[in-house]
């Protein structure tokens, strides 16, 4: 999804502004890929896509997003590129299906910018933020049935605690889950933020940002199935990309980054189980090569201008023949 970067890129309609993180690094990654269609699997406000189209004349972009507001804004922003752009409303795990239906395979590359977008956070009515009162929604695709209110008010206490630990790295998951169940029904974001704050010991409230930040993150990931569909989407991206093409992922959560790191490492080794000091005899086949050991992070200037960029991690591979 869209993430804040050094400067806002407003949409023609004035909504869904995009501040892309690590923009120059992302653009540089796709400079050497074969001519053809690049799939922006989390198009958002199209800040990355616009820069890629401007700087790489050999590329066209198939943009995919599950948020109808993002799709509308991206179509307006990218209209000036004419036939070099297609924008589709779909979730990113359907990227290969969408590209195949439109005759855009194999792809020259695939880009993922994961997580929640700044416009989604900044619009209280979407229910993503603890900073303003709104209904508990958090759906990236409003056509999907499950909302954050469903999770908060229907999950068993043990299941709430599990998801807070798994998706929020929340040290006080059991206390928060117990407080939520005791306070039900919880209708709005402000009420939930207050319940979470009161459940956390006072000393812990004074460090690590807003006390409800991790809970809201965990609920958003659960509502949208983000970590469930990411492995499927990564496999689809690697299978859809031509030799010499590249798959790049911007992640903002440790769980996301861990999945990407493990998947890319597997593709580089082919799952080889042989001792590293000996030739491979297990028949493993490498499908990709890492373009850098470790993740690329936003620099100090970008983080200073935009604190939300601090958690960004960029990883990329090149697909082998």
Can you give the pTM of this predicted structure?
0.89
pLDDT digits (tens, 9 = 90+) for 25-35: 999 999 999 99
Model confidence at 10, pLDDT cuts 50, 70, 90, reads very low
* pLDDT above 90 (res 257): yes
Model confidence at 16, pLDDT cuts 50, 70, 90, reads low
* pLDDT above 70 (res 315): yes
Across the range 62-76, mean pLDDT stands at 95
What DSSP letter does each residue of 207-246 carry, written as one string?
SSS-TTHHHHHHHHHHHHTHHHHHHHHHHHHHHHEEEEEE
pLDDT at 318: 98
Model confidence at 75, pLDDT cuts 50, 70, 90, reads very high
**CA nearest 313: which of 246, 266, 261, 242?**
261
pLDDT digits (tens, 9 = 90+) for 258-280: 999 999 999 999 888 888 888 88
Reading the block at residue 32, the tokens are: 């050497």
Q: Which of 81-90, 114-123, 149-158, 244-253 has the lowest mean pLDDT?
A: 114-123
pLDDT digits (tens, 9 = 90+) for 27-58: 999 999 999 999 999 999 899 999 999 999 99
Rounded distance, CA 250 to CA 128, Å? 20
Q: Pairing mode, if any, of strands 241-251 and 313-319?
A: antiparallel
């Amino acid at each position: 999804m869209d993430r804040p970067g050094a400067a806002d890129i407003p949409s023609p309609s004035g909504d869904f502004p995009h501040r892309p993180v690590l923009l120059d690094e992302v653009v540089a990654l796709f400079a050497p890929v074969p001519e053809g269609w690049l799939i922006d699997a989390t198009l958002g406000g199209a800040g990355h896509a616009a820069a890629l189209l401007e700087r790489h004349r050999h590329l066209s972009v198939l943009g995919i997003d599950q948020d109808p507001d993002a799709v509308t804004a991206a179509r307006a922003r990218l209209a000036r590129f004419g036939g070099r752009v297609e924008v589709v409303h779909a979730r990113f795990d359907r990227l290969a299906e969408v590209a195949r239906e439109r005759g855009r395979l194999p792809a020259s590359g695939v880009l993922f910018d994961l997580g929640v977008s700044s416009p989604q956070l900044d619009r209280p009515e979407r229910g993503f933020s603890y900073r303003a009162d709104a209904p508990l929604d958090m759906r990236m695709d409003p056509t999907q049935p499950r909302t954050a209110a469903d999770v908060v008010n229907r999950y068993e206490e043990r299941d709430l605690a599990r998801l807070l630990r798994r998706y929020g790295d929340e040290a006080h998951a059991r206390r928060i889950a117990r407080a939520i169940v005791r306070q039900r029904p919880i209708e709005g974001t402000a009420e939930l933020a207050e319940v979470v704050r009161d459940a956390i010991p006072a000393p812990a409230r004074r460090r690590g940002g807003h006390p409800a930040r991790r809970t809201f993150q965990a609920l958003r990931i659960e509502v949208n199935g983000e970590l469930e569909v990411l492995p499927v989407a990564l496999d689809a991206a690697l299978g859809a990309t031509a030799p010499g093409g590249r798959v790049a992922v911007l992640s903002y959560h440790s769980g996301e980054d861990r999945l990407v790191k493990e998947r890319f490492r597997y593709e580089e080794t082919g799952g080889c189980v042989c001792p590293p000091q000996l030739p491979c005899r297990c028949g493993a086949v490498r499908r990709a090569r890492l373009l850098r050991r470790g993740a690329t992070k936003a620099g100090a200037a970008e983080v200073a201008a935009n604190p939300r960029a601090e958690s960004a991690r960029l990883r990329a591979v090149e697909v082998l023949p």
